[in-house]
């Protein structure tokens, strides 16, 4: 008999598999439970509805991502390095097959129709902006981001990263995630009044 946490994890893993096969959020609770090998009683021990399950999946992935982004920023030596680490970690997701698939599922039209999705997405955006603002405050304090208005700039920086992220998710993407991250980094650092890092010499 699986523990409650293991049971919940089984349902979530089955949901990702089922929703990927269904091409978005078109699978039913019954479909998900068949893959999980569990009954409806197990489902309703953890989730009130399919919408509740989708929001839980979105929330879990978003919280994990924010923790990774904050960890990358915290381990950096300077505010510029912290910002670069954040941008690189965010865009790296688009080149990781499993997480790329998760993004596609949780940003599908079906997922976006889930009750509470818009509010949850807004909460995630606010959390990311608050964390970015902390990096910018550090840069203002040490003089490395002399032009920054942290609260306002955090919103715009997140929007620029989100645009680059969406472009990387497109099937016709024209550059690598690494190149996209470098371009975003250079643009953002210029906008903040910081010097972009010197390009690495190319091998002959």
**Ordered domains of the chain (ranges, CATH):** 1-47 (1.10.10), 50-191 (1.10.357.10)
Tens digit of each residue's pLDDT (9 = 90 or more) over 99-157: 999 999 999 888 899 999 999 999 999 999 999 999 999 999 999 999 999 999 999 99
pLDDT at 138: 95
197: which residues sit within 8 A by CB, 6+ positions away? 80, 84, 185, 189
pLDDT at 204: 40
CB 12 within 8 A of CB 53: yes
> In the block, which residue shows the tokens 């510029």?
80
> In the block, which residue shows the tokens 């698939």?
101
In the chain, which residues have pLDDT < 50? Answer: 200-204
């Amino acid at each position: 008999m699986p523990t409650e946490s293991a049971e919940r994890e089984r349902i979530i893993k089955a949901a990702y598999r089922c929703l990927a096969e269904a091409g978005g959020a078109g699978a039913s609770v019954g479909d998900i439970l068949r893959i999980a090998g569990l009954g409806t009683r197990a489902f309703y021990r953890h989730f009130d509805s399919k919408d509740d399950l989708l929001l839980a999946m979105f929330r879990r992935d978003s919280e994990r991502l924010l923790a990774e982004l904050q960890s990358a920023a915290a381990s950096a030596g300077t505010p510029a390095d912290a910002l670069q680490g954040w941008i690189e970690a965010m865009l790296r997701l688009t080149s990781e097959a499993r997480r790329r698939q998760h993004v596609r599922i949780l940003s599908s039209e079906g997922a976006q129709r889930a009750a509470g999705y818009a509010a949850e997405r807004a909460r995630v955006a606010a959390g990311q902006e608050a964390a970015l603002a902390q990096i910018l405050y550090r840069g203002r304090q040490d003089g490395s981001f002399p032009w920054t208005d942290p609260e306002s700039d955090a919103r715009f920086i997140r929007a620029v990263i989100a645009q680059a992220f969406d472009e990387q998710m497109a099937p016709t993407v024209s550059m690598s995630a690494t190149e996209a991250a470098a371009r975003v980094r250079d643009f953002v650092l210029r906008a903040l009044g910081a010097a972009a890092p010197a390009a690495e010499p190319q091998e002959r």
